[in-house]
Each structure stands twice: as structure tokens, then as C-alpha cells.
Amino acid sequence: MLQKVVFTDIDGTLIDLISGKYGESDKLIYTLREKNVPIVLCSAKTFAEQNKIRDDLGLMDPFIVENGGAIIIPKNYFDFQFDIEQNRIKEEQGYIIIELGESTREIRTKLGEIKKKLKIEFKGVADVSIEELSRLATMPIDYAKRMSEREYGETILQIKKSDLPTFTTSIEKMGIKVIHGGRFFDVTMGTDKGKAVSILINLFRKKYRNQIKFFGVGDSANDASMLKLMDVPMVVQKPDSSWSELEIKNVIRLKGIGPEGWKSAFDKIMEMN
């Protein structure tokens, strides 16, 4: 029997970009869980942020945090031992954590060097209090606290538009990747969503012995490296009702913004064999 596995972005896809509400997607996730379809969250969000969402949705599957910074796998989820070459693996709080990205500390150090050298003013999560982060990100204090718990990157909250090209060019020369999201942008080093997804795909293939089809749902260019690896890549509409221009073969452009688009993705997942 064919096994289905779903990889999904969160902001602007599974949940509304601004309000953070699920719409109908929480009920759809429940239906997929009932049918034993693994659902892998793959997002810029932190471990703490995604764990809250997983609790909300009752998810028990692996997840990918901070744009591929780490893969988090519940202990004993895979009934075989594995060793991922050239990556850091640790056990913590009942999870096996495969670390792919460089540490937030190292990235913030390099950001400090850029700020000092170029005299560019910008604010990252580390530069503001939880209260200010809550205000800038328009989210409750407890949500802002979870957002602040970064381990594999930094989120840039404020920068002059005129400084952005110089900032991007300089930071990329240091080996740091700039990833534009819906409202802010993230900087990471050493990984992306695709690298993390490819590792999990191989583990799922071994678990289900290749009788498997992968579905991916995203909304932006940041999801391209994930979607390229999917059997069925899908994108929902952005808030302006357009679709991100992605050079991905056979990508399905779904009608609906955020959770409404995710409902269309659910329909595709249910009908395909």
C-alpha cells in the first residue's frame, strides 16, 4: 500500500501570515493523522515555536526548524539506527536532534562584525527585549519568547531598505545565507530546507521501503529547496493573491491564501494515489 508523507511550511501556508490562525487546517491535519499520514513541519520557526504548534495539532512526527538548521526526530520514531555523516547528532528531551546549521552565536558574531565594519544599523532578535519583539512582530509576549529562542540563525527585524543590498552582498561573502520570509528575513549558515528534507526523505524511504509519495506545501521562494524534492510540489497564494515564481517542474498552484490554500492542498493529497 502506498504511504503518503506531507512536508509543509507554516507561516502563510498552514497558518495565516498575520493572525497566526489555523482556519480549517487544524481539522484537516487531524484527518490526515487519522489516516496515519506523517506531517513534517518545515519552517523558519524555532524548536519552541514549532513544539507549540505540534501540541495544538497533536503531531508526533519529525520536524525541521530554523530553515533547516536542525532536524528534530522523536526518539524511537524510526525503528532502525541511523548515522548521518558529517552532522552533529545529540539526544535531548526525548528527541534525536540532527544539527545541520551553524550556531546562532557564531552568526550573531559575524553580524556584529558587519555592523561595525559597514556602519549599517539593523536590529535582530538579539538586539531587542521580549517586549519590543512582541510589539515589532505584533504577537503576544509568550509567542515572542518562543520566537527569541533561536539556535541556528538570526531574524532581522529592522533595516533601512537602502542598506539592504550592501548588507546582503557583504554577509553572503562571509558564507551566510539571507532568506526572505513574509515579514522579516532570516540569516543562516551551512544549510537550507532542502538539505534537511533530503535527509528525512531517505529515512522515510527506509521506514516505508520506498512505497511512498511525498507531498510538499509552501508559499514562497524560501520553500523552493524543499518543494524540488517532492513528488507533488504545491504552492498556496500569497496575501496579494499571486503565487511565488518558482522554477520547479510540475508545481501545482493552488487557489487560496494561507490556510484556504492548504485546504486545496489537502484535497490533492486525499485524491492522489
- Which amino acids are annotated catalytic? 9
Calpha distance 153→189 (Å, rounded): 7
Q: Count Cα atoms within 13 angstroms, Cβ side, for 194.
A: 10
Joined together, the cell numbers standing for residue 8 give 509543509
Q: H/E/C letters for each residue in 162-229?
A: HHHHHHHHHHHHCCCEEEECCCCEEEECCCCHHHHHHHHHHHHHHHHCCCEEEEEEECCHHHHHHHCC
CB 151 within 8 A of CB 102: no
